[in-house]
Copies of this chain bind each other. A is one copy, B any other.
Amino acid sequence: MHSLDLKKPDGRSLTLYSTRPISNAEGMSAPSPFQDPQGANPHLRWHPMRGEWVAYAAYRQNRTFQPPPEYNPLAPMKDPSNPTELPEGDYEVAVFDNRFPTLTGEAHDPPSLDVRTEPGNGKCEVVVFTQDPKAALAELPLARIELLLQVWADRTRRIASENPTIQYVLPFENRGAEVGVTLHHPHGQIYAYPFIPQVPARMLEQELQHYQQHGENLLVSMVRAEIATQERLLYEGEHAVAFVPPCARYPYEVWVTLKAPTPSFGALSDAARADLARALKTVLMKYEGLWQRPFPYLMAWYQAPTDGQEHPETQLHAVFWPPYRSKERLKYLAGTELAAGMFAMDVLPEATAAQLREVQVNVDA
């Protein structure tokens, strides 16, 4: 993997990644649609009743930048009078600081309130998967998906080493208008938190308890059961698997992970990474094939916290949450899901697994 670090005129960082040396690296500079310093200053407030942090970044709603509908800030810049976020060049993946971060290392002086407050310390990055605005992650070659897995490892390592207060790095992709996405150029985001957020914290508790009781990583145990059962399995390679979990909270929920204990992106061997890319692409292609149309989802990658501890109890894995409960109907989160935290499913995981198993895909490159 090759990379090139650049700095935008407004002070934000840009890193270009490629499997080959980036040829025109010498004269390359980082553009920005924004010339003035960023000045983002989010803060956190403690929610005493829920025991969790909430982030406030009020300038996000007030941004005055109103681009024309055809303007794509993630496309390589062709015309300096109409700057985008990315330069022209033969890089493959690009990562830059979000101009409107929910969390940033520069946050300072939170307001004083009746609830505890903290600066909105952390980092929010945009990860551009390809220069092609019309592509989808499912259409990218395996080599690009492998590169992306390496990029996520590199970002995790760099974010944590540049800001030692970071405890958790979460890469995710929101895809499709149905989940609120307005910019359809293939891209994801990375959020880095100065604490372990509630969902992965709860997961780590469960994993640690299992590890202490059984001496094995919980998800590795679940994977073994899925392989034995086969019923919900969508992919099994030498290293990686994909399946609909028996406890799916969303119709068409899928998990992608490794068979062997692997706490984070940084722990992937070359062979495991290649197989994980194939598992991921298989799932993405099955999704696209299911209804023969672009398939929206939230894809999140859980990994070990960057808290300086060993985490043999936890396992790198992706979770896909699609918003549809059937071809024509969205699943809305309502009373029992949001207010109680008990998800109600009107379709069995075995039924959605059967549908996804039937979708034939050919992952050749």
Contacts and interface: CB of A to CB of B under 8 A. Distances in A.
Nearest to A113: B246
Contact of A339 (B199, B245, B247): B199
A209 B342 CA distance: 23
B206 A335 contact: no
15 contacts: A49-B207, A50-B203, A54-B344, A54-B345, A55-B342, A56-B348, A58-B347, A172-B335, A174-B332, A191-B336, A197-B336, A200-B341, A202-B341, A298-B338, A300-B338
B248 A54 contact: yes
B198 A340 contact: yes
B319 A339 contact: yes
Contacts of A68: none
A229 interface: yes
A343 interface: yes
Nearest to A188: B335
Given A325-B61, A333-B333, A49 B342 contact: no
A54 B342 contact: yes
The residue in A46, A54, A191, A247 that gathers the most chain B C-beta atoms within 10 A of its C-beta is: A247
Interface of A: 45-61, 102, 113-115, 168, 170, 172-174, 179-180, 189, 191, 193, 197-203, 205-207, 210, 218-219, 222, 225-226, 229, 245-249, 298, 300, 302, 319, 321, 325-326, 330, 332-336, 338-348, 351
Contacts of A115: 246-247
Contacts of A334: 172, 174, 179-180, 298
- Specify how many copies of this chain sit in the oligomer: 2
Query: Interface of chain A, helix or strand or loop or mixed?
Result: mixed
Given A48-B210, A347-B61, A348-B58, A114 B225 contact: yes
A55 B249 CA distance: 8
A-B interface, 8 closest residue pairs, ranked by CB to CB distance from nearest: A180-B332, A300-B339, A198-B341, A60-B346, A172-B335, A197-B340, A199-B341, A61-B346
A219 B49 CA distance: 8
A138 to B, nearest CB: 19
Contacts of A201: 341
A334 B181 CA distance: 9
Contacts of A333: 333
